[in-house]
């Protein structure tokens, strides 16, 4: 038996020179440009739109969109690096970039015909914000119970329904919207459409007031006889469920990266505190009980990073990654909850105030167990695949 070449095994935490340069550029940008705006955005519960053209200038609005279509020509893995670095400073900022790259650009590249790619990807990469609209009042975890309808009218489609929990809803101009062309067919009637803000019958409704990621807009979308050109159908009619599933698989890796950044940001703030704060005539960092908790947190963060990076590498290599994406999202969100909670405790009373950053990281972490698939839904996905494989380690 011939051993596999080590060069054929994708690196995980080992980055290429280009990836390191890109990561460092995003880290510098996050600290210098995003950092000073975080408190203002958090208190106003509104995203500072002056950041969007800066994202585009840095290539963050179309990271793995080909250069001939106006993108940065990078990789999915680089998009994951960007999300992690932004989340270490502000989760709300990271999720705008995450949705743009993993839930909007990717399905257009994977499922769009040449006309769709030429019409929309240069705009998105150039700074037009996108959003992904699947959820409804009666279809959250049961995503394919959606009731939004699409009826043909000549060469166009008429959409009617309401979407809920739409990230980037307030800022977006381009929306990937899922509707059924035949409710009697269940999930086999679902079709993906590209809807633009200016379309007749389309409007943005209520904006949610949330616990965390407060500067990230979460809105409802209202479609009242919304006319959509037939050329804006994304993928095949009745195959929208495939577009939705495959897109969410990649999006879950993005949420995993967001949780890495949130965890790292909180842990760094706690590390700084315990190396400065004295109790009983010694630094908190000198107590073995504190040291062990930090060691456990750092270990869990590293394990989560390996899982997220591995899933991203698998996607770039066009290998199967559904199980790995579910595991990465599940575990990274669990780690984020545990570690950010610990960090609040390590800062004591200070950690419970808005004067210090850990309480925000703590609130921002909670969404990781909910959106793009709850933890229970990911457990169900993982269990199904493991049982199908019939052997751990396949």
Q: What does the pLDDT look like over 188-219, one tens digit per residue? A: 999 999 999 999 999 999 999 999 999 999 99
If you average pLDDT over residues 321-329, what whole number do you get? 98
Residue 393 pLDDT level (bands cut at 50, 70, 90): confident
For residues 269 and 361, is the Cβ–Cβ distance under 8 A?
A: yes
| Higher pLDDT among residues 306 and 14, named by residue | 306
The helix (H) or strand (E) run that includes residue 245 is helix 240-274
- Beta strands of the chain (E only): which ranges? 130-133, 149-153, 156-167, 174-180, 190-196, 202-207, 218-229, 233-234, 278-279, 282-283
Q: What are phi and psi of 207, to 5 degrees?
A: -100, 130
Asked whether the predicted pLDDT for residue 1 surpasses 80, the reply is no
Model pLDDT, residue 392 = 86
Kindly report, residue by residue over 12-41, the tens digit of the pLDDT.
568 999 999 999 999 999 999 999 999 999
**Domains observed in the chain:** 6-129 (1.10.540.10), 131-238 (2.40.110.10), 241-389 (1.20.140.10)
Tell me the pTM. 0.95
- pLDDT, position 394: 67
- Rounding to the nearest 10 degrees, give the CA dihedral for residues 316, 319, 320, 325: -30
Q: What are the φ/ψ torsions at residue 229 (nearest 5 degrees)?
A: -60, 145
Task: Report the catalytic residues.
Answer: 372
Instruction: Check pLDDT > 70 for residue 4.
Output: no
Q: What is the dihedral of CA 94, 100, 103, 105, to 10 degrees?
A: -140
- Does the pLDDT of residue 9 top 90, yes or no? no
- ∠ at Cα 330 (324, 336), nearest 5°? 125
Of 356, 366, 361, 369, the C-alpha closest to 340 is 361
Average pLDDT of span 82-102: 98
pLDDT tens per residue across span 104-136: 999 999 999 999 999 999 999 999 999 999 999
pLDDT at site 376: 96
Q: What is the pLDDT of residues 128-180, one digit of tens each?
A: 999 999 999 999 899 889 999 999 999 999 999 999 999 999 999 999 999 99
How far apart CA 361 and CA 237 sit, in angstroms, is: 41
Q: What is the distance, to the nearest Å, from the Cα of residue 280 to the centroid of all Cα atoms in its chain?
A: 43
**Averaged pLDDT for residues 331-341:** 98
pLDDT attached to residue 13: 65
């Amino acid at each position: 038996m011939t051993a596999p070449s080590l060069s054929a095994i994708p690196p995980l935490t080992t980055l290429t020179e280009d990836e390191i340069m890109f990561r460092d550029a995003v880290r510098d940008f996050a600290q210098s440009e995003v950092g000073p705006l975080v408190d203002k955005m958090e208190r106003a519960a509104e995203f500072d739109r002056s950041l969007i053209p800066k994202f585009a200038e840095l290539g963050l609005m179309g990271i793995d969109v080909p250069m001939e279509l106006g993108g940065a020509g990078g990789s999915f893995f680089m998009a994951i690096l960007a999300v992690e670095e932004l989340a270490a400073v502000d989760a709300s900022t990271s999720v705008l970039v995450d949705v743009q790259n993993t839930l909007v650009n990717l399905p257009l590249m994977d499922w769009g015909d040449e006309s769709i790619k030429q019409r929309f990807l240069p705009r998105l990469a150039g700074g037009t914000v996108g959003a992904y609209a699947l959820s409804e009042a009666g279809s959250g975890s049961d995503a394919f119970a959606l009731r939004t309808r699409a009826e043909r009218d000549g060469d166009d489609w008429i959409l009617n329904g309401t979407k809920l929990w739409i990230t980037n809803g307030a800022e977006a101009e381009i929306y990937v919207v899922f509707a059924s062309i035949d409710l009697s067919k269940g999930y086999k009637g679902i079709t993906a459409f590209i809807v633009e803000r200016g379309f007749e019958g389309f409007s943005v409704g209520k904006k949610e007031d949330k616990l965390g990621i407060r500067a990230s807009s979460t809105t409802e979308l209202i479609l009242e006889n919304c006319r959509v050109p037939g050329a804006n159908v994304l993928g095949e009619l009745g195959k929208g469920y495939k577009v939705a599933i495959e897109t969410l698989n990649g999006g879950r890796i993005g949420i995993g990266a967001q949780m890495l950044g949130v965890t790292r940001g909180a842990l760094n703030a706690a590390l700084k505190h315990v190396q400065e704060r004295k109790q009983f005539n010694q630094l908190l960092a000198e107590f073995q009980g504190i040291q062990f908790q930090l060691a456990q947190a750092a270990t869990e963060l590293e394990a989560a990073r390996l899982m997220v990076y591995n899933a991203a590498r698998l996607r770039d290599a066009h290998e199967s990654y559904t199980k790995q994406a579910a595991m990465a999202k599940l575990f990274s969100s669990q780690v984020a909850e545990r570690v950010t909670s610990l960090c609040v405790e390590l800062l004591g009373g200070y950690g419970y105030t808005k004067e210090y950053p850990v309480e925000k990281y703590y609130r921002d972490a909670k969404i990781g167990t909910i959106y793009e698939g709850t933890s229970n839904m990911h457990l169900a996905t993982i269990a199904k695949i493991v049982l199908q494989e019939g052997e751990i380690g396949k």
